[in-house]
Structure 1
């Protein structure tokens, strides 16, 4: 589980790629991205980490505190089960059925 303030999450997403954050905290990178979007935390754009890797200058976006406090707590639950909502051992046929 990932539990931190908006300000801490903002610093974290600008310090390392989402995939690394996800691995370190046992969550999915998509969930980190969704939490950022839901709490108005700007994320690095595509190519940001490649520019960093090649020593190019990059700027982190400032944390916008108009709608949410920087001290608001954000909780991202760990990734469990398989994508699509089915847990191991559940009937896979139910996922493939369509309404007629």
Structure 2
């Protein structure tokens, strides 16, 4: 979820255990930029509950990984991304495999 940084504490003060389904893995937050991430079950109720909370605070809750996630589709021009990665990280040590297409 992404909310204005000044509202992130409000999002986090209502524990994630109040969501309908179980958490999958851990959660974390970047307080200075207003971003929190959490692994939710595949229940639509979990996502909608989190989105409702985020919207009420002036934010959003996109799906990053999973069905319909932002990072699921490989963007066009993957070869360009590979060349850029190779030019900035020729040894391949910076976050290997964490970008689209396994770059």
TM-score (norm 2): 0.28
Greater RCO, 1 or 2 (C-alpha within 8 Å, sep 6+): 1
- From the two aligned structures, give the one with the greater strand fraction: 2
